Amino acid sequence: MKAVIYNQNGKKLEESISLPKEIFDVKMNADLVHQVAVSQMANKRRIIAKTKNRSEVSGGGRKPWRQKGTGRARHGSIRSPIWRHGGVTFGPQTEVVFKKVISKKMRRKALFMILTSKAEKEHLIVLDSLKIESPKTKLMVDILDKLPAKGSRLVILPKKDETVIKATRNISKTKSELAQNLNVLDLLSFNYLILPKDSIKVIKETFLKE
């Protein structure tokens, strides 16, 4: 599969680039992509809800009243869940594990499937290069507006470029990411992928050598 190359002014260049078949020609398996995406969301989940059970609340050092003869129901501790300020039954605990294990091979294949889908839908915009003089949002907006990518956009960089990263940070529905850190969830979250042609080489070197 070949892709058209654009310059920063949004004009098509005469040259084109051949996309690696191992990455951009992988048959889609929606179930696998879904499984990898769910596992990634589960692994990112932070457990912040926590309730105290009857062993953790204060009080309850002695029996509230004697077992018999008072006419009241028998109780052994004021920490019981049926008491006000008592422990919580079956409440959320920090010991819950939501992590899902997915093999590296499955994650990599799902990544290639989405990249293939983006290329087939022409939602993959390849640039000859991406450079701006200063980390100004306006400069980055001018470049993005000239490209045929109207919607949410993920800018994939071949290496860390603080100027581009800072210039992209405040643009709505736009995010920058290093090619070596690509993942399924990010690719699914954005309609268009914008990447300098050097990023394709980094993707190939990073994910095909695993």
Q: What are 34-52's pLDDT values in tens digits?
A: 999 999 999 998 888 999 9
CATH architecture of 2-45+101-207: 3-Layer(aba) Sandwich (3.40)
What is the mean pLDDT of the segment spanning 195-208?
A: 92
For the CA atoms of 97, 98, 99, 101, what is the dihedral angle to 10 degrees?
110
With a pLDDT cut of 70, the percent of the chain lying above it is 100
Q: At what angle do helices 30-44 and 104-120 cross, to 10 degrees?
A: 120
33 in Cβ contact with 110 (< 8 Å): yes
Instruction: Please report which helix (H) or strand (E) contains residue 157, including its range.
Output: strand 153-157
Q: Is the pLDDT of residue 210 over 60?
A: no
Looking at residues 181-210, what average pLDDT do you find? 91
81 pLDDT higher than 80? yes
Residue 16: which pLDDT band, with cuts at 50, 70 and 90?
Answer: confident
* Percentage of residues of the chain with pLDDT beyond 90: 80
Q: What is the pLDDT of residues 86-118, one digit of tens each?
A: 999 999 998 888 889 999 999 999 999 999 999
pLDDT of residue 64: 93
What is the average per-residue pLDDT within 157-170? 94
Q: Examine the pLDDT at 171 and tell me if it is beyond 90.
A: yes
Instruction: Reduce the DSSP state of residue 169 to 3 states and report it.
Output: coil
> How far does CA 62 lie from the centroid of its chain?
51
Averaged pLDDT of the chain: 92
For residues 154 and 189, what is the distance between their CA atoms, to the nearest angstrom?
Answer: 9
Find the mean pLDDT for residues 146-163.
Answer: 93
| Structure confidence by residue, pLDDT tens digits, 52-67 | 999 999 988 899 999 9
What are the extents of the domains in the chain?
Answer: 2-45+101-207, 46-97
